[in-house]
Amino acid sequence: MRLASIMLLRSLVALFALLAIALPASAQSSARSAHAEGILLLERSTAMPDDSFLGALQLKLADGWHVYWKNAGDSGLPPSATWASSPQVTAGEFRFPTPHAIPLATLMNYGYEHEVVLPFEVKIAPDAKPGDQLTIAAKFDYLICADVCIPEDVTLSVTLTIAATPTIDDAGSAIIAKTLPTIPVALTGNATVERAGDTFKIGAIDPSLAAAATSAKWLRFFPLGPEIQNAAPQVVRVGPDGVSVEVKASDFAKPGDVPLNGIIGMELSNGDMRGWELPATPAALPAGVANTAFQAVGATSTEKALPLGDLLLTLALAFLGGLVLNLMPCVLPVLTIKAAGLVHTAHDPKKSRADGLAYLAGVVICFAAIGAILVFLKAAGDTSAGMGFQLQYAWVTAIFALVMFAVGLNLLGVFEIGTSLMGVGGKLADRGGVSGAFFTGFLAAFVGAPCVGPFMAGAVGAALAQPDPLVVMAIFIMIGAGLAAPFVLLSFTPAFAKVLPKPGKWMETFRQVLAFPMFVTAAWLLWVLSAQSGADGVIVVIFAAIVLSFGIWLARKIGTRVPGRALAAAVILAGFALPPALTLLPKEQLVVETTPWSPEQVSQLRAEGRVIFVDFTARWCVTCQVNKQTFHGSDVQRAFADNKVAFLEADWTNKDSVIFDELKRHGAGGVPLYLVYPADGGEPRKFEGLLTAGQIQQAIREAAGSI
């Protein structure tokens, strides 16, 4: 029995050996980097002398990460290969599939998420001999980005046997064949570009392009050079013979009529990508491509509807984000008014429920209005509008500061003018009944909207990336519902009345105490305004507050008759009319000198007791470019200047082992990285990802020992 088993085992081994010889090995090689898997694919398992076929680099990317097209857009670098193949093997350039647009803040990049296959041509020399074992090998470098950008690489190698006749590798051929239709093709017609001021009008004639465009999910022009503003909206029109695309010229475009090279790419209704190459030569726009409006595209061209499960999760996050807003410092002052209102109505369940619903309506209507305005701004082509946009305008910030100042005066009992203009900003927020609850909710939502706290950031980001306005509105309404939920719940809980004190004379004192959080909110808004319009803007609002106070005083002294009320109202209106003048104020421009980073420079500056801000950056790092816009804001520049900060820049655009070693020393795998060295010689504070002006200013003040 044992002898028979041994004989059977030997027979199986021999059989597997014969099969291994008879069946060629799959022509694939794979390796992993930190955030991607790279696979080298070939169409051949065996090749013959003077053969020509396709290979490909397949990159499977981790969720949330992307790599770049051959023109990365505003920042980034495309994948590249450093070949180390046998002398008889020649590999061509990558053929890049049609990319997606990847927006981030005010920038626009082009690339791929999830997976990309980059085909290239492989040629075998005529002098290769059957039986030769040839190596196809390369080090593939790629920049992979999420919130940070990290240069990564994989080294892949495949051994290919030369035979009398070639053998197809089924697995590699199938993957390469699937991606070939996504490679842009040449136009069958012609392409022209016509310049009108700062706009390029591109026309492309091609029947297949026109037919595909009529049912595409989105379509846009992807340039090969820097001539256009990548993040600007594009207007696309389709005609019977082709399409036209209007794009904005960038500062890098040469004056006059210039050619444009790029591709017109689109996503079909079934999700497939298609592209057409076009060298557009200067000429008038051809007829037959601009008669029907098709679609406005830009940063929104990559918007994708959320699956039902993701939508429900986003709505839940929106509700939680609104709930957490109740704890944010910018909302708490207004919520104290609502808390006082609960004390008034808690012992009357009917009034309590009515006030709770009115408060809910005020919050939800405000958030719905914010969502509707954002939808409108996006449709109008404003790709930079985001949460808190209402306080991005200096005059709006100023008026809201005056409103909070007036609310504080009303709570102190300085005025009680329920039917005047001031009733909107002050009395309505504090008066009893449904109207007071409604306006308290509206004020809470208005001041709370810019405070993007936990859970809310993801929900707001998802909302701003949605193509369906109804989904955007639903997300913002859920944020409002979350903000209002605690007070609505308390309003509908009769048992809550048992733990609250009964209204009495103490309420007058409590009401006056609530005035001071309103003044704190007004002061915070003035701080915001100081970054928008400088000291002059703050002076304008202080003067407006004086005029407003004078109007209130007039109303109390001579406002019992119609002429007196009219005069007081005119003075109050004059106070509120001053903030729009902020748009006429020149913005303060401060520029802090940038010095190249080096370990020696850091040591020298630390010996001088300087605060040091080190910016580890690269031109291909999209997050770095967004942060640079924050660095150049007047408020941040002023913080640098006031604290005599040394600003050092470690530019990692090109490989630099010294910078890389420093990044590793601080536990960073890539850029951006920001180090703030304190003046007293302690350890630096580290930041990664997107920064806000407030974060930078606080870090600078802490490093300087001023707080």
CATH number at residue 692: 3.40.30.10
Question: Do both 418 and 390 map to the same domain?
Answer: yes
Domain endpoint, select from 285, 302, 319: 302
Distances (CA, A) of 462 to 304, 311, 459: 10, 9, 5
Q: Which CATH number characterizes residue 127's domain?
A: 2.60.40.1250
| Tokens found for residue 472 | 């955007």
Question: Do both 133 and 229 map to the same domain?
Answer: no
User: Which pLDDT band, with edges at 50, 70 and 90, does 301 fall under?
Assistant: very low
Residue 33 included in any domain: yes
Residue 10 included in any domain: no
Query: Can the peptide bond before residue 501 be classed as cis, meaning omega within 30 degrees of 0?
Result: no
CA 604 to chain centre: 37
Of the two residues 50 and 492, the one the predictor is more confident about is 50
pLDDT surpassing 50 at residue 91: yes
Question: Do both 293 and 248 map to the same domain?
Answer: yes
- 252 class by beta-carbon count within 10 Å (0-12 exposed, 13-18 middle, 19+ buried): exposed
Residue with tokens 């944010």: 328
Q: How far apart are the first and last CA of the chain?
A: 87
Bridge partners, residue 32, by sequence: 37
Distances (CA, A) of 584 to 534, 578, 587, 701: 12, 11, 9, 31
Residue 576 included in any domain: yes
pLDDT surpassing 90 at residue 648: yes
Question: Do both 322 and 219 map to the same domain?
Answer: no
Any idea which of 209-218, 414-423, 647-656 has the lowest mean pLDDT?
Answer: 414-423
Question: Do both 192 and 279 map to the same domain?
Answer: yes
Question: Do both 39 and 65 map to the same domain?
Answer: yes
Domain endpoint, select from 302, 326, 342: 302
Looking at residue 26, its pLDDT comes to 55
Reported pTM: 0.56
Looking at residue 241, its pLDDT comes to 85
Residue 573 included in any domain: yes
Kindly provide the b/e burial profile for residues 46-73, where b requires at least 16 CB atoms within 10 angstroms of the residue's own CB: bbebebebbbbbbbebeeebbbbbbbbb
Please tell me whether residue 380 adopts helix, strand or coil conformation. coil
Residues 6+ apart with CB under 8 A from 453: 321, 324, 325, 327, 328
Within 331-455, residue ranges assigned H as helices are 332-345, 349-379, 394-411, 422, 428-430, 433-448
The number of domains in the chain is 4
DSSP per position, 43-55: SEEEE-TT-EEEE
> Of the candidates 301, 299, 302, which has an alpha carbon nearest to the alpha carbon of residue 232?
299
Question: Do both 424 and 547 map to the same domain?
Answer: yes
Bridge partners, residue 36, by sequence: 61
Domain hosting 602: range is 594-704
pLDDT surpassing 90 at residue 590: no
Any idea which of 4-18, 236-250, 402-416 has the lowest mean pLDDT?
Answer: 4-18
User: Which pLDDT band, with edges at 50, 70 and 90, does 549 fall under?
Assistant: confident
Question: Do both 166 and 234 map to the same domain?
Answer: no
Bridge partners, residue 236, by sequence: 245, 295
> Of the candidates 189, 258, 246, which has an alpha carbon nearest to the alpha carbon of residue 221?
246
Highest mean pLDDT among 89-98, 277-286, 426-435, 619-628: 89-98
Q: What is the mean pLDDT of the chain?
A: 78
Residues 6+ apart with CB under 8 A from 359: 338, 437, 438, 440, 441, 484, 487, 488, 491
Question: Do both 382 and 262 map to the same domain?
Answer: no
Looking at residue 313, its pLDDT comes to 79
Residue 19 included in any domain: no
Any idea which of 65-69, 208-212, 295-299, 312-316 has the lowest mean pLDDT?
Answer: 295-299
Contact, 360 vs 489, CB < 8 A? no
Cα(223)–Cα(206) distance, integer angstroms: 18
Cα(448)–Cα(322) distance, integer angstroms: 9
Please tell me whether residue 490 adopts helix, strand or coil conformation. helix
pLDDT surpassing 70 at residue 299: no
Contact, 267 vs 222, CB < 8 A? no
Question: Do both 464 and 511 map to the same domain?
Answer: yes
Question: Do both 435 and 568 map to the same domain?
Answer: yes
Longest dimension (CA), the chain: 122
pLDDT per residue as tens digits for the range 361-382 = 888 888 888 778 767 766 655 4
Residue 17 included in any domain: no
Question: Do both 34 and 124 map to the same domain?
Answer: yes
- Residue type (1 letter), 578: L
Domain endpoint, select from 302, 329, 353: 302
Mean pLDDT of all residues in 16-34: 62
Looking at residue 17, its pLDDT comes to 42
